[in-house]
């Protein structure tokens, strides 16, 4: 493998590693039903916290692995987007909240959209296109003007010696900061095992651990194996808003661009989910139920693309990858995403927002409505 890394251009190394790791992530997340919105929905309406605990395990494992890589492997997390000296707290909170609402309307997050697309869901293809186009518009186009106008006044410039990372904000540096981070990550992962139902269902625990490990390997791919000290590109791991736009952009203008880790990751997740769906017999072509279903998804996908770029990530990009760095900004964004998702579920399930699909259960109590027709993650 070392010889391959020496021969290939580093962008190609990152692309291939992104595809390989994405393939594993798509397979694992579909087989293990890893879905942030589904986890929130299960916890709120079914009092089932197993998928939520799976997400927590992923966060804990990612924190431990990333800081171990930093300590022993030379990973430089300051070259990521999560530890800059501009704390864009307004963008993180507003963007995260909008993304969360959009996630509820769309029925799943960015990773879930790719996973459903790999399973034959054509609704997910439409969501993919809208998220990707909106993301590019918000990064470089028309809605980017609104993003800057809304959030620029609510940005905190940290002092030169400060970092957004919690251990360093507490005054720790070097090995001490890494050791504290590893202890925090281990504690988070162990706390998830406090429920006997979770411990007895190894599928959820194994899925969370695998997702966390793949996040760590994503950091390794861009920050160590494919790292170029002369390249200004930031190191990264999995996130699924901007990369959807980058993938579409590359498909349209391939001769002028070099594909990198995000493009490989997106294609890999779709391929991995396809393999999982075909191998377990769950692959099935699906189309939108009606115009109301499509309207809900279109609005949700737009909010995800706009909010995800504003918040610098999605429920995976901030909720696992960002949190793996122990960034304060990532914590703000993740809380906002969860709050937005809960608000979106409240509007859809409990307030029976105006979509026809939800009106069919108008006379039912909220929990019965949720059981009657799930909003999220219908893949097995």
DSSP assignment string, 89-156: HHHHHHHHHHHHHHHHHHTS-HHHHHHHHHTTBHHHHHHHHHHHHHHHHHHHSHHHHHHHHHHGGG-E
Task: Write out the two tokens for 377.
Answer: 């993650």
Q: How many CB atoms lie within 10 A of CB 175?
A: 10
User: How far is C-alpha 168 from the geometric centre of its chain's CA atoms?
Assistant: 25
Instruction: Judge whether residue 321 has pLDDT over 90.
Output: yes
Distance CA 324, CA 311 (A): 16
Q: Determine the Cα–Cα distance for residues 214 and 321; give it in Å rounded to an integer.
A: 10
DSSP label at residue 364: S
Average of per-residue pLDDT values in the chain: 89
Give the burial class of 160: count Cβ atoms within 10 A of its Cβ; 0-12 exposed, 13-18 middle, 19 or more buried: exposed
pLDDT greater than 70 at residue 297: yes
Per-residue pLDDT tens digits for 172-230 = 888 888 899 999 999 999 998 877 777 777 889 999 999 999 999 999 999 999 998 88
Give the count of alpha carbons within 13 A of 37, CB side only.
30
pLDDT at 158: 82
What pLDDT is stored for residue 290 in this prediction? 83
Token output for 238: 């999995």
Residue indicated by tokens 């901007």: 242
Average confidence (pLDDT) over 28-33: 95
Q: How many CB atoms lie within 10 A of CB 130?
A: 23
Model confidence at 360, pLDDT cuts 50, 70, 90, reads: very low
pLDDT of 367 higher than 50: no
Q: Is 165 helix (H, G, I), strand (E, B) or coil?
A: strand
Q: Identify the weakest region by mean pLDDT among 3-7, 338-342, 371-375.
A: 371-375
Q: From CA 308, how far away is CA 284, in angstroms rounded?
A: 29
Q: Please name the helix (run of DSSP H) or strand (run of DSSP E) that holds residue 163, with its range, or none.
A: none
Percent of the chain residues topping a pLDDT of 70: 91
pLDDT value of residue 376: 58
Query: What does residue 255 show for φ and ψ, rounded to 5 degrees?
Result: -70, -20
Average pLDDT over residues 59-74: 95
User: Of 348, 371, 376, which is closest to residue 121 (Cα–Cα)?
Assistant: 376
Residue 228 near residue 295, CB atoms below 8 Å: no
Q: What is the pLDDT of residue 144?
A: 86
Q: Which of the two residues, 380 and 104, has the higher pLDDT score?
A: 104
Alpha carbons 153 and 142: distance in angstroms, whole number: 19
Determine the pLDDT at residue 20: 98
pLDDT of residue 104: 96
C-alpha 228/C-alpha 8 separation (Å) is: 13
| CB of 282 closer than 8 Å to CB of 119 | yes
Q: How confident is the model at residue 365 (pLDDT cuts 50, 70, 90)?
A: very low
Q: How far apart are CA 139 and CA 73, in angstroms?
A: 32
Per residue in 247-257, pLDDT tens? 999 999 887 78
98 vs 101, 244, 302, 336, CA distance in Å? 5, 18, 10, 8
Average pLDDT in the 348-369 region?
Answer: 54
**Cα diameter, the chain:** 65
Q: Which residue ranges make up each domain of the chain?
A: 11-372
The pLDDT of residue 146: 86
Q: Which pLDDT value is given to residue 366?
A: 46
379: exposed, middle or buried (Cβ count in 10 Å: 0-12, 13-18, 19+)? buried
pLDDT for residue 371 is more than 80 = no
User: For residue 355, what pLDDT band results from cuts at 50, 70 and 90?
Assistant: low
> pLDDT category, 231, cuts 50, 70, 90?
confident
**pLDDT reported for residue 131:** 98
Strand pairing partners for 327? 165
Q: Which of 130, 178, 213 is nearest to 325 (CA)?
A: 178
Alpha-carbon 330 to chain mean position: 12
Cα–Cα dist 203/110, whole Å? 22
Q: Two tokens at 310?
A: 């504003």
Structure tokens of 90? 């307004």
108-153 per-position pLDDT tens digit: 999 999 999 999 999 999 999 999 999 999 998 888 888 888 888 8
Strands (E), the chain: 86-87, 156-157
pLDDT tens-digit readout, 233-291: 899 999 999 999 999 999 998 877 899 999 999 999 999 999 999 999 999 999 888 88
| Listed residue (363, 301, 241) closest to 104, CA to CA | 301
């Amino acid at each position: 493998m070392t010889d391959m890394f020496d021969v290939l251009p580093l962008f190609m190394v990152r692309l291939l590693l992104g595809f390989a790791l994405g393939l594993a992530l798509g397979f694992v997340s579909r087989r293990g039903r890893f879905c942030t919105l589904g986890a929130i929905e299960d916890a709120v309406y079914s009092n089932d916290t197993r998928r939520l605990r799976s997400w927590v395990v992923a966060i804990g494992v990612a924190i431990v692995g990333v800081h171990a890589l930093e300590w022993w492997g030379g990973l430089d997390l300051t070259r990521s987007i999560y530890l800059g000296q501009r704390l864009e707290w307004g963008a993180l909170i507003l963007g995260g909240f909008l993304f969360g609402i959009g996630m509820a309307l769309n029925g799943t997050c960015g990773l879930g959209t790719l996973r459903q697309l790999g399973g034959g869901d054509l609704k997910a293809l439409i969501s993919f296109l809208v998220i990707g186009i909106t993301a590019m518009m918000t990064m470089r186009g028309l809605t980017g003007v609104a993003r800057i106008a809304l959030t620029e006044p609510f940005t905190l410039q940290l002092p030169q010696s400060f970092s957004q990372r919690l251990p360093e904000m507490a005054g720790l540096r070097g090995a001490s900061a890494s050791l504290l981070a590893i202890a925090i990550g281990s504690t988070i992962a162990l706390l998830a095992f406090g429920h006997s139902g979770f411990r007895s269902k190894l599928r959820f625990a194994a899925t969370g651990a695998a997702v966390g490990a793949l996040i760590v390997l994503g950091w390794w791919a861009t920050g160590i194996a494919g790292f170029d000290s002369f390249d200004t590109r930031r190191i990264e791991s999995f996130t699924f808003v901007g990369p959807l736009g980058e993938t579409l952009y590359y498909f349209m203008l391939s001769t002028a661009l070099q594909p990198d880790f995000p493009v490989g990751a997106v294609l890999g997740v779709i391929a991995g989910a396809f393999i999982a769906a075909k191998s377990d017999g769950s692959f099935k072509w699906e189309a939108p139920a009606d115009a109301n279903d499509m309207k809900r998804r279109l609005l949700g996908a737009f909010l995800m693309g706009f909010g995800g770029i504003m918040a610098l990530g999605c429920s995976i990009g901030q909720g696992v990858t960002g949190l793996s760095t122990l960034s304060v900004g990532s914590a703000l964004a993740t809380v906002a995403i969860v709050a937005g998702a809960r608000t979106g579920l409240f509007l859809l399930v409990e307030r029976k927002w105006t979509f026809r699909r939800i009106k069919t259960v108008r006379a039912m109590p909220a929990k019965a409505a949720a059981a009657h027709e799930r909003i999220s993650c219908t893949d097995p």
